[in-house]
Amino acid sequence: MVAPLVRRSALLALLALIATGAWFGWRQLQPPPDPSGFTSGNGRLEATEVDVATRIAGRLATLTPREGDDVQKGAELGRVDADEIAAQLSEAQAGVARAKQTAAEARAGVAQAQASRQLAAVTLGRTEQLITRNFLSAAQRDRDRATLDTADAALLAARQRVAEAESAVAAAEAVVTRVHHTLADMTLTAPISGRVLYRLAEPGEVLAAGGKALTLLDLDDVFMSIYLPERLAGAVPLGGEARIRLDAGGDWIPARVSYVAPRAQFTPREVETRTEREKLMFRVKVRVDTAWLAHHRLDAKPGMPGVAWIRLDPQAAWPANLPQH
């Protein structure tokens, strides 16, 4: 009977030792608690994405950048076939020339009408002088006055034709301007300085209006989104100081809190939380300092994982060594 009791006691002692070792191992694997006045969260670097799309439908003639290439704002990236638009421009310019010719003819008509009106006025004046001397009858004065009235009406009509012709010139020139803008839209230019993330089309493809050709990353707007429970998200100050440390190593990256979600949401799968009970989290956006980005563009690659630390208490001093978890 003694031997089984000894074996049982040894087994219980071994199980207790294993349990104690497992508990200490579990404790070692737990992330260290955040320093007082600070909070942190895991995430990945992201950058604002900007699409380069066509405003006018057409066949893509050229597209120069490849994925990963850096482009400068305003640089030409590609062209859409513009032969049809160029023909429309020639037609519109011809319309301007015709409208200007019509306006010139209308102004000549005004000059002619003014001369006729002036002659009619002089004739009426002479007729009235001759009537006072009894050389002409009053009927002649009535006829000359009617001629003057007709000349006045003709002059007014001529001036209206000039106004209409000048409006036609302005409308034709507006068509030329619109076609010029359309022709300019056939050239794809970079709306920002950034890096090509996706090349979505190839030369020869027909793109619909609004069809996307490229997606650019704005490397001047790099940020990390982390998720915090309500008890911490409520204490995060907008504009508060933050620091980011990438898993790949390197120096701490200066940042600022630029956004705190007004509503809770389900935690994305790739985000790790400290307790599984916290199912609803608040998204907090930490934006990398633009001055730092200007000198470290190659160090902050979108997609790189890391941890962001946020200072909740402005009076708290940054610890010398922040834990990375």
**74 pLDDT tier (thresholds 50, 70, 90):** very high
Q: What is the CATH number of domain 52-82+187-213?
A: 2.40.50.100
pLDDT (tens digit per residue) in 129-143? 888 888 778 888 889
- What is the maximal distance between C-alpha atoms in the chain? 168
- Among 250, 242, 260, CA closest to 301: 250
CA pair distance 206, 61, nearest whole angstrom: 9
β-sheet bridge partners, residue 194: 71
Average pLDDT over the chain, rounded to an integer: 85
Every domain of the chain and the residues it spans: 52-82+187-213, 83-185
- Among 241, 223, 232, CA closest to 311: 241
Alpha helices in 34-137 (DSSP H): 83-132
- Among 283, 268, 306, CA closest to 233: 283
pTM flag (> 0.85):
no
Arithmetic mean of pLDDT, 19-43 = 65
pLDDT (tens digit per residue) in 187-235? 999 999 999 999 999 999 999 999 999 999 998 899 999 999 888 888 8
pLDDT (tens digit per residue) in 258-305? 999 988 876 555 554 455 445 678 999 999 999 998 888 778 888 899
- Among 155, 129, 124, 126, CA closest to 142: 124
